[in-house]
Amino acid sequence: MNNELRRKLDKITDVLWAGGVTNPVTYIEQISYLIFLKLLDEEETLREQRARLGATGGNAKLLFPAQSERYRWQKWRFKSGNELRDYIRDEVFPYMASLAKDEPEVADYFRDAVLEIVDPSVLKQVVDELDGFEFTKLGPDVKGDIFEYLLVHLGSSSLNGQFRTPRQIRSFMVEMVDPDIGDTLFDPACGTAGFLIDAVDHLLVKYSDHVSEYPIYGEEWLERKGKSLAELKTEIPRLQTYRKGAGEKIPDWDVLEASVYGIDVSRQMVRIAMMNLVLHGIRHARLKRANSLSDMGGLNEDDLRRKYKVILANPPFAGQLPKDSIRADLPTNSKKSELLFLSLMMQHLAPGGRCAVVVPEGLLFGSTGAHVELRKKLVSEFDLLAVVSLPAGVFKPYAGVKTSVLVFRKPASDTAKRLDKVWFYEIRNDGYDPDKVSGGGRVETPEKNDIPDLLAQWKAYKASGYAQPPGLEANALLPHDTDEPTCWFTTRARLAEIDYNLGAGQWKPRRAEAVSDEDPRDLIADVLGDYRDVVSGLEKLLAELAK
């Protein structure tokens, strides 16, 4: 999110607070309603463009057909005074809430919505500020960025672990599990639905004739550079990008929508996730407010039994659950949330399914019985395809915890051939400075991003049927002048020897110390010379003290 957007949000905040909207929950709710209306208007413009390209799926179906076009942001944004306030309150909100049949998620979001910005001049200032920029140019899920920034502004950032996984991390995780049409997609702690949306975007690109590519930092970053993307990719070989497509060749949009599942314990997050998915053309995702880990958290029997082909998640790490509320079917006796979430994903992965999950570093080498047993089950009963070590600062400014990504799949059958090796990749830089934070976010370093190389190595690994991991054998001793390795591999047998320790550093090849070419006699003479100088100095000091 750029500084101009932050400035506008800060100004809106000042205007709302001065206008009497001072309750934090009300503040977030009111600004979210208006941002959603603006985003819906921009999404309608994109859908019109898709329709002209021949797309007929859900992301080309108009939100404001025929006479209802008068409810679009661009049709009423020039109103002012009581007319503006009354129109939004009495016309726009009720229309959105009436879309239960065609747009049930939009209707659900605006059901019982109340416009609490009662001062017309305050409302007009907010509308004018929001009208001053195009949200869709700021990145694929800017609404999540906005919600995050609002929480930061209110001093509640990362409240209960509610911060989003950075785009550059989600992007490579989605590419590694490579979802396709027919795969059920699941995030058991979905937050703002970033993983689910990235997975859908990945699918759309596969089924598009018209594909656009953007830098990971957003379109405005590209515009500020004043160069084409092709020029920048030549200048910055490590520049990470993502692609977008209309998905006009999706064979059945209903199948795609029916394949998206998400659960979150926060009602507010579920509403944001639902809103985010609707804006990306997924109007009928299976989102639910529940506790994925609990028998008493709102899950039904279908939820407990359902298996998924693709699971993507960055679940909350902190805290423990009371033993009595933990699901009895999870394959661990631990009360720690990180172990419970990993066991949940192992439990819900369908045969042949793939999972990519962010885990805290301690899970990889923890010595408790629960840690060791779960890692043993992961390595023994699943194909652990990769352990990707992330930089320590990847979640700044919200958290500084060191994390890794586990990528694994469930064998298609009990008799399927198993993989014997586990691949490790160390990302030292993810395209952002690990230490510097500016304007509420980390400083961009596109020239140092290791993720494009990770994906290139992964592509070769996948092409081998995961039989030959790229890189060096674990703990190899390298010549002192060798470049620091980025990837290596070990075997399941060696993992078993040390309690299935999955820490990347445990298996990293080492560089030998450089051997000096100096004559040992010269080195000894230098040491003796230094020693004599010390003795001489002490003797002089002793003589001075004796006077």
* Mean pLDDT, rounded, for 211-230: 88
CB 55 within 8 A of CB 246: yes
The three-class DSSP label of residue 156 is coil
The fraction of the chain above a pLDDT of 70, given in percent, is 92
CA distances from 422 to 186, 340, 464, 503 (A): 24, 23, 14, 12
Which of the four pLDDT bands, split at 50, 70 and 90, describes residue 58?
low
121 vs 15: CA distance, rounded Å: 10
d(CA 509, CA 477): 6
pLDDT above 50 for 525: yes
The confidence score (pLDDT) of residue 373 equals: 96
Please enumerate in sequence order all residues whose Cβ is within 8 A of that of 359, keeping only pairs 6 or more positions apart, or say none: 317, 338, 342, 403, 404, 405, 406
> What is the model's pTM?
0.80
> What pLDDT was estimated at residue 316?
87
Length in residues, the chain:
547
Q: Which two tokens stand for residue 480?
A: 């002192």
How distant, in Å, are the alpha carbons of 24, 71, 91, 202, 435 from that of 130?
19, 17, 20, 29, 32
The first and second tokens of residue 377, run together, are 């089950």
Q: Quickly state the pLDDT bin for 461 (edges 50, 70, 90).
A: very high
What does the pLDDT look like over 299-353, one tens digit per residue? 999 999 999 999 999 998 877 888 888 898 898 888 899 999 999 999 999 999 9
8 A C-beta contact, residue 405 and residue 425: no
Confidence of residue 54 (pLDDT cuts 50, 70, 90): confident
> Vertex 493, ends 491 and 498: CA angle to 5°?
100
Please say whether the beta carbons of 134 and 17 come within 8 A: no
Q: What is the sign of the dihedral through the CA atoms of 491, 492, 498 and 504? A: positive
Q: What is the pLDDT of residue 324?
A: 83
Instruction: Bin 500: left if φ > 0, else alpha if -120 < ψ < 50, else beta.
Output: left
Backbone angles phi, psi at 308, to 5 degrees: -130, 145
Q: 153 is written with which tokens?
A: 């502004």
Residue 172 CA neighbour count, 13 Å, CB half? 30
Model confidence pLDDT, tens digit, residues 236-271: 999 999 998 888 899 999 899 999 999 998 877 787
Q: What is the pLDDT of residue 278?
A: 78
User: Of 186, 198, 193, 191, nearest to 159 (Cα)?
Assistant: 191
Q: Which residue has the higher pLDDT, 229 or 142?
A: 229
**E-strand spans in 368-430?**
383-389, 403-409, 421-426
| Cα distances (angstroms) measured from residue 299 to each of 296, 314, 327, 355 | 7, 20, 10, 21
Say whether pLDDT at 143 is over 60. Answer: no
The one-character DSSP state at 317 is -
Q: How many Cβ atoms from other residues are within 10 Å of residue 396's Cβ? A: 18
Q: How confident is the model at residue 362 (pLDDT cuts 50, 70, 90)?
A: very high
Neighbours of 297 (CB within 10 A): 18
Q: Phi and psi for 161 in degrees, rounded to 5? A: 80, 15
| Mean pLDDT rounded to a whole number for the chain | 87
Say what the pLDDT of residue 159 is: 43
What three-state secondary structure class fits 49? Answer: helix
Q: How far apart are CA 361 and CA 376, in angstroms?
A: 16
Task: For residue 49, give both structure tokens.
Answer: 């463009």
- Reported as a single tens digit per residue, the pLDDT across 165-210 is 888 999 999 999 999 999 999 999 998 888 999 999 999 999 999 8
Cα 132 to Cα 149: distance, rounded to the nearest angstrom: 18
Q: What is the CA radius of gyration of the chain?
A: 28
Q: What is the pLDDT of residue 245?
A: 87
Q: What is the pLDDT of residue 275?
A: 74
* pLDDT reported for residue 440: 60
- With beta carbons less than 8 A apart as the criterion, state whether 472 and 485 touch: yes
- Strand-pair category, 441-444 with 432-438: antiparallel
Those residues whose C-beta lies under 8 Å from the C-beta of residue 479, and which sit 6 or more positions away, are: 511, 512
- Determine the pLDDT at residue 546: 81
User: What's the average model confidence in pLDDT over 37-57?
Assistant: 83
**How far is the C-alpha of 137 from the C-alpha of 142, rounded, in Å?**
9
Q: How far, rounded to the nearest angstrom, does the alpha carbon of residue 359 sit from its chain's CA centroid?
A: 12
Average pLDDT over residues 30-50: 86
Does residue 397 have a cis peptide bond before it, meaning omega lies within 30 degrees of 0? yes
pLDDT at 262: 97
pLDDT-based confidence at residue 87 (cuts at 50, 70, 90): very high
Contact predicate 461/470, CB 8 Å: yes
Q: What is the pLDDT of residue 157?
A: 40
